[in-house]
Amino acid sequence: MVELILFYAFAALIIFSAVLLVTARNVFHGALYLASTLFGVAAIFALSGSFFLAGIQVLIYIGAVVVLLIFVINLTRQIAGSSAAQVNEAVVPALITSLLTITLIVLAVLKTDWATRIGKSVAQTEAMDNTAVIGTQLLTNFAIPFEVVSVLLLAALIGAIAIVSRDKEAGK
Amino acid sequence: MALLKELLYNSGKPLSEFSSWMHAIWAGWGMPGFLLDFIFQLVIVLAVTAVLVLNALWIIYYDRKISALMQIRKGPNRVGPFGLLQTLADTVKLLIKEDVNPKKIDILSFWIAPLIIFIPTFAVFLVLPFGNGLVPADLNIGILYIIAITGLSVIGILAAGWGSNNKYSLIGGMRSAAQIVSYEIPMVLVILAVVLMSGTMKMSGIVAAQSNRVWFVVPQFLGFIIFLIAGNAEVNRAPFDLPEAESELVAGFNTEYSAMKFAFFYLAEYTNLFLTSAVAATLFLGGWQGPFLPPIVWFFIKTYFVITILCWIRWTFPRIRVDQLMEFSWKYLLPLALLNLVVTAVILKF
């Protein structure tokens, strides 16, 4: 009962701030609404018993991604000061992409056999510590994707360093 | 008397007995159980918040007295005995002062910033073991929760800096965010080494892991030092007080704030100091454990020991430059913390 009320409260928070996020004319306000949306998602994770995911969601998405976003907005005062335009010439491709994404998500939700999946994962997490399950899975079944992601992040890191040092040389 | 002793030394058991006793009575009245749980949670939250606010007032006085000691002067000594009521008087003054809102602020960011900083600072204490069984909520992800929630305050600082529409505030906010993000990484790596040693992220588990052997400060001495340095940087205190460097930035991100909103920042700053010290005491100094005295007393003794070290550092070191600040974190603390983690993992494995 309490969980149901909390679920709907946080779901409402997510939708409300997501709508505010895309309609906000001020980019900085948009970033704050994004933080609130992501916080709602973390709360839903926590409600479903995935405390580790909830913690990581707050740590990575709010603590790192939104902070970097705000940092960039602060560095570019022109967009932050004036109100940004809601539509530009990319409106039609954006609409198509969003519609395709929505179709994909809806199909995935409808096709999933929720009862058995949730029952299985609950049984699994109750047998072990939630964090331990994720750790074991990452280093056994998902070892290759895990390593691929690490290489991707490393490449991004080196790329950023390369771009910055090239600008430095050009400046001199 | 026996009950009082049990309550002080082994708080978990009598408290859960009281809870089930109340539940029985409550069920007798025909009321739903979750309502009572909710009331209990509300009482716990209010009690912890009250203790923390009073404690923050006391730490402000303590910090001022230590600074006076370092600078051979008397410090607050007029209001109340030994000036003990000085911070209380300051708080009342801040409460009744006019709330000044500059003309060109961004209303949403300016108003929400003190809350984004204030609420997470207090929410973090949810998982901290104050005594034996005295944990508001002993989450499995305890220490991860602390790291995640403390990270939220960066957004508040950035919002305060940007919303004030003042170049000093903006620079202060940016400096603070860069500083906290940079020093969070070595801090997390050090905490990871502690988690490796204790085999759990639960705060009570980390305390329990230190019960039968030496406290983690001995095997993790390097980690303890890195934690103190990074923790000091995260609470923006000298020598890392660049975000509010008064000689160059007026007061940094809280320049435009006054009255109650300023009090929020001030209380959050000192509660953060208490938090860093309490986490250091829990992770490295064995938490609430100690002989003779009740656990909660030991918890406060150890926490205040760390606070004293941090105050000592604050009042004796000069402020460092921005480039030195970044260099210190990325070129010295981060490699050392990584080395500490790898060495810990290798030693634990073999």
Please write the tens of the pLDDT for every residue from B259-306.
788 888 888 888 888 999 989 988 888 877 777 778 888 888 888 888
Cis ω before B239 (30° cut-off from 0): yes
Q: Is residue B12 part of a domain?
A: no
Mean pLDDT of B162-187: 83
- Chain B contacts of A52, Cβ < 8 Å? 140-141, 144
C-alpha triplet B173, B175, B176: angle, nearest 5°: 65
Residue B187 has φ and ψ, to the nearest 5°, of -60, -45
Does B158 contact chain A (CB < 8 Å)?
yes
Q: Which amino acid is at B151?
A: G
Does B41 contact chain A (CB < 8 Å)?
no
B45 pLDDT band, cuts 50/70/90, is confident
CB nearest to A28's CB, from B109, B177, B201: B109
The fraction of chain A above a pLDDT of 90, given in percent, is 22
pLDDT of residue A103: 94
Give the Cα separation of B54 and B17 in Å (integer).
Answer: 29
- Chain B contacts of A164, Cβ < 8 Å? none
Test A63 with B158 for CB contact under 8 angstroms.
no
Give alpha helix (H) positions in B164-294: 167-198, 203-209, 221-234, 246-249, 259-284
- The alpha-carbon gap from B270 to the nearest alpha carbon of chain A, in Å, equals 21
Kindly tell me if the per-residue pLDDT of A70 is higher than 90.
no
Give the Cα separation of A128 and A59 in Å (integer).
Answer: 23
Q: Which amino acid is at B171?
A: I
Q: Is residue B259 part of a domain?
A: yes
Mean pLDDT of B198-226: 83
Kindly tell me if the per-residue pLDDT of B246 is higher than 70.
no
The number of helix segments (H) and strand segments (E) in chain A equals 9, 0
Which segment of A163-172, B34-43, B72-81 scores lowest on mean pLDDT?
A163-172
Mean pLDDT of A157-168: 83
Kindly tell me if the per-residue pLDDT of B326 is higher than 70.
yes
Domain span holding position B123: 33-73+95-349
Kindly tell me if the per-residue pLDDT of A172 is higher than 60.
no
CB neighbours of residue A68 within 10 Å: 13
Beta carbons of A17 and A40 less than 8 angstroms apart: yes
Q: Is residue B238 part of a domain?
A: yes
Mean pLDDT of B72-100: 82
**Test the A interface: residue of B141, B153, B166, B176 with most A CBs within 10 Å:** B141
Kindly tell me if the per-residue pLDDT of B184 is higher than 80.
yes
List, in order of start, the domains of chain A with CATH numbers.
1-85 (1.20.120.1200)
Give the Cα separation of B207 and A24 in Å (integer).
Answer: 46
Tell me how many domains chain B contains. Answer: 1
CB neighbours of residue B337 within 10 Å: 25
Kindly tell me if the per-residue pLDDT of A129 is higher than 80.
no
Please write the tens of the pLDDT for every residue from B104-125.
777 788 888 888 888 888 888 8
Q: Is residue B279 part of a domain?
A: yes
pLDDT of residue A101: 94
Give the Cα separation of A17 and A38 in Å (integer).
Answer: 9
